[in-house]
A and B are shown apart, each in its own frame.
Chain A
Amino acid sequence: MVTRYLGAPVRRNEDPRLLTGRGNFVDDIQIPGMLHGAFVRSTHAHARLKRVDVSRALAAPGVHAVYTHGDLGPLGDPLPPLIPHPTLKHHKTQYALAPDKVRYVGEPVAFVVADSRYLAEDAADLVEVEYEPLPPVVDLEAAAEPGAPLVHEDAGTNVAAHYTQRVGEPDRAFAEAPHVFTERLVMDRGCAQPMEPRGVVAHWDPRLETLLIWDSTQAPIPIRNGLARLFGLPERAVRVIAGDVGGGFGPKIMMFYPEEIMVPLAAMRLGRPVKWIEDRREHFWATNHEREQIHDAAIAVDDQGRIIAVRTVFLHDAGAYIPYGLIVPVVASTTLPGPYKIPNYHAEFKAVFTNKTIVSPYRGAGRPHGVFVMERLMDRVARELGIDRAEVRRRNLIQPDEFPYDVGLIYQDFAPLIYDSGNYPAVMDRALAMVGYDRFPEEQARARREGRYLGLGVANYVEGTGIGPYEGAKVHVEPSGKVLLATGVGTQGQGHYTSLAQLVADQLGVDVKDVHVVTGDTGEFAWGTGTFASRAAVVAGSAVYLAARAVREKALEVAARLLEASKEDLELEGGRVLVRGAPQRAVSLGEVAVAANPLRGTIPEGAEPGLEATRYFGPPRGSFAAGTHAAVVEVDPETGMLKILRYVVVHDCGTVINPMILEGQIHGGVAQGVGGAYYEKLVYDEGGQLLTTSFMDFLIPTAMEVPDVAIGHVETPSPLNPLGIKGAGEAGVIPVPALVAQAVEDALAPWGVRVREMPLSPVKVRELVEGSRREAPA
């Protein structure tokens, strides 16, 4: 009987190592002779650099070098842009060190290298920087106005891009519709805050002529390729290792952070290994943010609440530079339609420069914004037309027989936005049943009689996952019978050492523990892009499956010769190839591997040696997961405190590789969603100073705030890849702001509170209660 790992809650291969303190995080790297770096960062949001004097710092104890922009040569140019877009007219990118002007607080101005981090930080304090302050551009709407001070003078505007997508005839549809409702909806700044800050170690090995980099990145291969180009080295001479990465959630994929240039530069110039580890305060300034958008939205419906048209016109705060392009606002505008049929749609945005930290995707990457807007509009329709909120959603859902469903837009991968498969009514109905939707009005009424304010929220989403271009995998059986799997998608905790091993173990009939996975090391596998957009399981998983299947075929062919049996009569089980029905006629996989790589004789014409295969997989377009979250909350109108009493997620991500890992992904996403909806907010003052630069100001939820999560699965496999997988990495976070907004409104219905901004907070809830005109019932 062949073990089936696919779909089983296999315990993780990586856990014992991580649990015993044997992880391989970037700050764990110690190399003899290693030096340590510290950055001097701008204390101004917007200023000209008049003078940077490093003389005192250079003379400080233990200092080996202090670099400023003038020392960089060609590396002083703007760093390469990542993802261009035809409407992105001003694709401004950051510098390794600021040349003559700083554009956000925290922008690197100088880099100090010393014997220890303590000494490097001492010397960094001695670098004298003279600033000529310029008017800071902080407010998003003001930044977009003509005549605003310019973040980039040569652009002549703060509007980096202005992009519109339309489906049908939205103008006419709005003009003719019986009901039109408008809303202004705001999401403020947040950020990912992985528990491990960023870090880079660089070591130039003169004998191997190799630049060895340890980097807490989600995209080691593009980092290697880019560094080779920037430093004029052959690609094979740069090896980037992203070993264990302590959480990523998006911002660890940016190429290039200034530190990823400066650390290798210093290592090469000084001929010594150099380490830089970000501290938490730096992380708040220097690691990318997300979320800030202002949407002017409208919905047109008929008398039954059926959608005729939707419009969103929004501003996206890009921060000081826009290296990553338009991914977040494009994802926001293309996620907005969700599971609903929207015959006419107008999505228009401006991406705007401000003197704030750069924005790039953070878990959700625009999806929470789109879902927040759409679900707020649905709530408005339900309220205005007096239709039950679940019912108004149900009336507009795409039906199971309507797939593939062409939304009519272009998605972030520049492919048409076509939903591959799904069963949205089943997902929503399951969530309503699990949360107790039908009995909730009675529960709510009972609680109100006791002076408690309960509210229910339900929100739907469709999640674009598994986009191209491609990933690859190499599967190799060693003479020991153990299997090596190498792939390019690094892991930041998603369990690749296990889920990908499961796919191989099933094909080769070996124990999942005997599949050793190597990811995130360009010395082992150097083709691919990285771990983002909920794509690793879909795209790399498919490549792994194809490579393992190819090795299986090869093993059967070689074993057939060894066993003098027909290939069709063989099976792989327990690390052996055996003749079906005659298990004494068997050969171990290790012996097959040796036979496939002989010292004498030959291998068949056209064959490749060894039990090894490399395969690539590129999906034609993304696969679309979907889900419904529902929750019951209790709000204290006196204190503004929120308590989540029940939380339900019903999710469809196609074929599930490992339900235990999947549920963990959802739990973590919900927690981040709850944080972003109620606790976490980045606050800038009018001068562009970030006021929230510690965990005492930016409140990440603890175990006291995050609820238990009940999870239900619906499985609609994707037709776009061999296993039917869809991604799941962002599912937990996406609809949480929409859900919390609705649930809080529902709980505070006696006050007629309207939630139009995210995040909420106890203070905000109090303000909403006090601001409402109606009096509380006795």
Chain B
Amino acid sequence: MAATRTVRVRVNGTLHEREVEPRLLLSDFIRHELGLTGTHVGCEHGVCGACTILWNGEPVRSCLALAVQADGAELETVEGLAPDEERLHPVQAAFVEHHGLQCGFCTPGFLMTVVAFLRENPDPDEAEIRRAISGNLCRCTGYVNIVKAVKHAARSLRARAPAGASAAPAGR
């Protein structure tokens, strides 16, 4: 068996240290070493986007990275978005409100993609939204309600933002 290496990563604010094989995928590390099974693995070849996490704030496919590469990184997964089911992140709440999920398997990847996207572009139009989520596949929803949810999430995030940050008129 290959020699192991030490990986230290901060995930959702908590520091983890593990000895892992260099070939261990980051997705498997997150799911099976750390037990954070909210990050899903759909294709293992970087197309479906179900395994998307945030790596130092940037959306990344965790199936295309090795755990050892993440040494020293700051990661965010779906488990870090809300403290519990009653206090959802505005993006999560918008997915409830607009029925943006069905089976829920691709959903964590969409959430992480959308959270990062709305940080970058707080007031997107529909074409921008569709482009932003076009790296994530969903087989249940036809994307119609995901697009609606992202619009809604953008509005509620803007409403929460501190004064002067972004004050686009409602209902654009």
Contacts and interface: CB of A to CB of B under 8 A. Distances in A.
A15 B85 CA distance: 9
A699 to B, nearest CB: 10
Interface in A186-206: 192-197
B15 interface: no
B104 A23 contact: yes
A694 interface: yes
Interface stretch (A124-132, A143-151, A662-670): A662-670
A704 B105 contact: no
B44 interface: yes
Contacts of A244: 103-105
A22 B86 CA distance: 13
A20 to B, nearest CB: 6
B23 A118 contact: yes
Contact of A671 (B32, B41, B48, B142): B142
Contacts of B31: 27-28
Contacts of A192: 139
B101 A30 contact: no
Interface string A107-119: 0000000000110
A660 interface: yes
B70 interface: no
Given A27-B41, A664-B145, A703-B130, A20 B105 contact: no
A19 B95 contact: yes
Interface residues of B, number: 62
Nearest to B32: A30
B38 A668 contact: no
A344 B138 CA distance: 42
Nearest to B147: A703
A196 B42 contact: yes
Contacts of B131: 703-704
Contacts of B37: 21, 23, 25, 27-28, 30
Given A19-B92, A61-B1, A194-B139, A704 B134 contact: yes
Contact of B140 (A118, A664, A708): A664
B67 interface: no
A247 B105 contact: yes
Contacts of A494: 102
Nearest to B102: A493
Given A27-B37, A27-B41, A280-B43, A20 B139 contact: no
Contacts of A16: 85-86, 88, 92, 96
A147 to B, nearest CB: 41
Contacts of A21: 36-39, 77-79, 108
Interface in A478-522: 492-495
B38 A700 contact: no
B103 A194 contact: yes
Interface in B37-88: 37-45, 47-48, 50, 77-79, 81-82, 84-86, 88
Main secondary structure, interface of B, reads loop
A670 B40 CA distance: 25
A14 interface: yes
Contacts of B41: 27
Nearest to B86: A16
Interface string A14-47: 1111111111010110100000000000000000
B3 to A, nearest CB: 14
Given A20-B82, A195-B48, A25 B134 contact: no
Q: How large is the interface on A (under 10, 10 to 19, 20 to 34, 35 or more residues)?
A: 35 or more
A246 interface: yes
A14 B24 CA distance: 32
> Which of A15, A27, A706 lies at the interface centre, i.e. has the most chain B CB atoms within 10 A of its CB?
A15
A246 B104 contact: yes
Nearest to B35: A30
A706 B1 CA distance: 46
Interface string B103-128: 11111100100000000000000000
B99 A695 contact: no
Contact of A668 (B45, B102, B136): B102
Given A12-B99, A495-B102, A694-B47, A667 B42 contact: no
Given A19-B101, A21-B39, A493-B103, A706 B32 contact: no
Interface string A681-704: 000000000000011100010111
A695 B47 CA distance: 6
A702 B137 contact: yes
A640 B131 CA distance: 21
B154 interface: no
Contact of B78 (A15, A20, A663): A20
B40 A25 contact: yes
B86 to A, nearest CB: 8
A249 B140 CA distance: 9
A195 B141 CA distance: 12
A706 B38 contact: no
A21 to B, nearest CB: 2
A651 to B, nearest CB: 14
Interface in B132-163: 133-147
A537 to B, nearest CB: 14
B144 A709 contact: yes
Contacts of A18: 101, 104, 107
Contact of B139 (A19, A118, A249): A249
A732 interface: yes
A193 B137 CA distance: 11
A669 B31 CA distance: 31
A672 interface: yes
A302 interface: no
B146 A703 contact: yes
Interface string A196-219: 110000000000000000000000
A193 B139 contact: yes
A670 B142 contact: yes
B1 A195 contact: no
Contacts of B137: 195, 695, 700, 702
A195 B32 contact: no
A337 to B, nearest CB: 28
A245 interface: yes
Contact of B84 (A20, A117, A732): A20
Contacts of A246: 40, 42, 103-106
Contacts of B40: 25, 27, 195-196, 246
A11 interface: yes
A279 interface: yes
A195 B103 contact: yes
A117 B44 CA distance: 14
A539 interface: no
B17 interface: no
A700 B137 CA distance: 7
A22 B38 CA distance: 6
Nearest to A674: B142
A668 B84 contact: no
Contact of A660 (B92, B99, B104): B99
B19 interface: no
A709 B145 CA distance: 10
Nearest to A117: B28
A667 B47 CA distance: 22
A633 interface: no
24 contacts: A15-B95, A15-B96, A17-B85, A20-B79, A21-B77, A21-B78, A23-B105, A25-B40, A25-B105, A27-B37, A28-B31, A30-B35, A195-B42, A196-B40, A245-B103, A493-B102, A493-B140, A660-B99, A664-B140, A667-B141, A669-B142, A671-B142, A702-B135, A706-B142
Interface of B: 1, 21, 23-24, 28, 31-32, 35-45, 47-48, 50, 77-79, 81-82, 84-86, 88, 92, 95-97, 99, 101-108, 111, 129-131, 133-147
- 4 closest Cβ pairs, A-B complex: A21-B38, A493-B103, A246-B105, A18-B104
Given A19-B88, A671-B139, 18 more contacts: A16-B85, A16-B86, A19-B104, A20-B85, A21-B79, A23-B37, A118-B21, A246-B105, A247-B102, A247-B140, A664-B99, A667-B142, A669-B142, A695-B137, A703-B131, A703-B133, A708-B147, A732-B142
